[in-house]
């Protein structure tokens, strides 16, 4: 008897996902709770675990395919031992993966198991004279991009050694193999490398692109700028850094200062903590601050809930924990949901000045930048101080320009006189 592996509820407003990496191979024994496959949604990557023990009998949705809630990804047989997949299972899988060559294979053919993955087309159509005796599992253990590249160039993936985790063949492996196959081209004076590579955008990257375009199209977005003297904050960090770390077990960074300063400014100018819904403005009397974090797959914005109730140490701990989860790709939908205002720090990458894009449906986002020593005039004298440009992008539909400018000035005042934040409790 078999049980289905289905797409679970994906979270608020998410109705589809992309099949990522299958972590078990056909015919492999699985235990209850074993991770089977990754699903990429527009916000997070989640693992689907086995709800029963048995054998992975079929893979109906190959890597790279878009699936909806409730769709069957594959099946688990409750038989006690692994056996060769039946012709019926292979036919089902071949139909799902779109391969037509598999139907003519004999039930016990070694290529039958390989036919159940998107790598089948490349494997079957490759010249038989080039085929080696590499294990079939190696064909299955390849990224979707690597498989597509192999199909386009008629390469047998079994000839390529994978450099990825657990021997997975990556697009770089295929590209390197192609380069070894191609004869060297004599270089000409002023010649350019004109090779192209087509890489499918991940689900998260597609979502980021769509939301950024929508934000610019749907909001009357403007940006105002100012500069902040970071001398006082740097001096506080120098004086209390070791004591803070010893007491709280976390470093004292800049984000806690800017988070507290932002909340102080939001209390003075509450429409920047609002959102627009139809013909209504929703004023929010709580402060869930999104902190933008850059990872390889794109920007994520986990949220500090009720940040106005957090101490400096609480803020630093929460940000450090969220950054670690973002790097490990373990952020949950709850970590990312909601948010009333966002802070992004391009200075960590060396940005001197930028115009951040709104994180809809929010109407304000604060951009921090690189600290640089610059000459400024103080009491009629030219002095060198550590300065940071800050930017506020806002939705002009409900936030007036004067209000946005005064908000940013308030942030500047609180950063330049951190003791004033005590009055914002």
The set of residues, in sequence order, having a beta carbon less than 8 Å from that of 296 and lying 6+ positions away, is none
86: CB partners within 8 A, 6+ apart: 107
Which of the following CATH numbers is that of domain 2-181: 2.40.50.140, 2.40.128.130, 3.90.1200.10, 2.40.50.100? Answer: 2.40.50.100
Pairing of strands 341-345, 289-291: parallel
Give the model confidence (pLDDT) of 377-422 as tens digits. Answer: 999 999 999 999 999 999 999 999 999 999 999 999 999 999 888 6
In 254-399, DSSP assigns E strands to 274-277, 280-283, 289-291, 293-295, 298-300, 303-304, 341-345, 364-368, 371-378, 381-395
For residue 400 the two structure tokens come to: 């007036």
Residue 98 banded pLDDT, cuts 50, 70, 90? very low
Domain 221-424 has CATH 3.30.559.10: yes
Query: Which among 379, 399, 378 has a CA at the least distance from the CA of 387?
Result: 378
pLDDT of residue 180: 76
Beta bridge partners of 258: none
Give the lowest-confidence range in 33-42, 145-154, 214-223, 409-418: 145-154
Claim: this prediction has a pTM higher than 0.95: no
Helix (H) or strand (E) holding 160: none
Partner residues linked to 66 by β-bridges = 18
d(CA 43, CA 45): 7
- Among 121, 298, 275, smallest CA distance to 207 is for 298
Task: Please check whether residue 412 is in contact with residue 389, taking contact to mean a CB–CB distance below 8 angstroms.
Answer: no
Q: What is the DSSP letter of 270?
A: G
- For residue 223, name the pLDDT band (cuts at 50, 70, 90): very high
Which listed residue (78, 306, 400, 417) is catalytic? 400
Quick one: 350 exposed, middle or buried, by C-beta within 10 A (0-12, 13-18, 19+)?
A: exposed
Q: At what angle do helices 254-268 and 312-327 cross, to 10 degrees?
A: 110
Q: What is the predicted pLDDT for the residue at 187?
A: 54
- What is the predicted pLDDT for the residue at 90? 43
- In this structure, what token pair is assigned to residue 283? 């004023």
Q: Is the pLDDT at 105 greater than 50, yes or no?
A: no
- End-to-end CA distance of the chain: give it in Å, rounded: 62
Going from the C-alpha of 415 to that of each of 182, 262, 420, the distances in angstroms are 59, 10, 9
Indicate the domain borders of the chain: 2-181, 221-424
CB atoms within 10 A of CB 85: 23
Residue 194 CB-density burial (10 A; 0-12 exposed, 13-18 middle, 19+ buried):
exposed
Give the single-character DSSP code of 316: H
Question: Which position has the higher pLDDT, 396 or 64?
Answer: 396
The pLDDT tens digits of the residues spanning 169-196 come to 887 888 888 877 765 555 555 556 678 8
Catalytic residue among 78, 242, 306, 396: 396
306 is catalytic: no
Q: Identify whether 285 is a catalytic site residue.
A: no
């Amino acid at each position: 008897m078999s049980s289905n592996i289905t797409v679970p509820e994906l979270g608020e407003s998410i109705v589809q996902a992309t099949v990522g990496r299958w972590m078990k191979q056909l015919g492999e024994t699985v235990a209850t709770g074993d991770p089977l496959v990754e699903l990429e949604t527009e916000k997070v990557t989640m693992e689907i675990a086995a709800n029963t023990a048995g054998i992975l009998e079929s893979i109906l949705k190959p890597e790279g395919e878009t699936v909806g809630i409730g769709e069957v990804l594959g099946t688990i047989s409750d038989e006690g031992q692994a056996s060769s997949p039946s012709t019926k299972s292979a036919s089902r899988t071949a139909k799902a993966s779109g391969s037509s060559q598999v139907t003519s294979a004999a039930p016990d053919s070694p290529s039958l198991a390989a036919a159940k993955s998107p790598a089948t087309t490349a494997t079957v159509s490759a010249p038989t004279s080039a085929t080696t005796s590499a294990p079939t599992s190696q064909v299955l253990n390849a990224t979707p991009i690597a498989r597509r590249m192999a199909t386009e160039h008629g390469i047998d993936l079994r000839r390529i050694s994978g450099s990825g985790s657990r021997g997975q063949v990556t697009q770089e492996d295929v590209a390197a193999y192609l380069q070894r196959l191609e004869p060297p081209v004599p270089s000409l004076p002023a010649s350019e490398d004109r090779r192209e590579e087509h890489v499918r955008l991940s689900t998260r990257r597609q979502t980021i692109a769509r939301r950024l375009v929508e934000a610019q199209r749907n909001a009357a977005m403007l940006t105002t700028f100012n500069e902040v003297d970071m001398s006082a904050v740097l001096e506080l960090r120098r004086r209390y850094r070791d004591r803070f770390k010893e007491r709280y077990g976390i470093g004292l960074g800049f984000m806690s200062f800017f988070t507290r300063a932002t909340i102080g400014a939001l209390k003075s100018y509450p429409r920047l903590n609002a959102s627009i819904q139809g013909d209504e403005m929703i004023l929010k009397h709580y402060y869930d601050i999104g902190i933008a974090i850059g990872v390889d797959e794109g920007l994520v914005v986990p949220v500090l809930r009720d940040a106005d109730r957090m101490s400096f140490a609480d803020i630093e701990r929460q940000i450090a924990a969220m950054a670690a989860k973002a790097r490990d790709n373990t952020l949950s939908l709850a970590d990312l949901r909601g948010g009333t205002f966002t802070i992004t720090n391009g200075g960590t990458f060396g940005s001197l000045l930028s115009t951040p894009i709104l994180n809809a449906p929010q109407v304000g986002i604060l951009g921090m930048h690189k600290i640089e020593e610059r000459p400024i005039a103080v009491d009629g004298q030219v002095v060198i101080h550590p300065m940071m440009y800050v930017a506020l992008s806002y939705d002009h539909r409900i936030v007036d320009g004067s209000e946005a400018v005064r908000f940013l000035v308030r942030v500047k005042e609180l950063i330049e006189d951190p003791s004033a934040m005590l009055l914002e409790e």
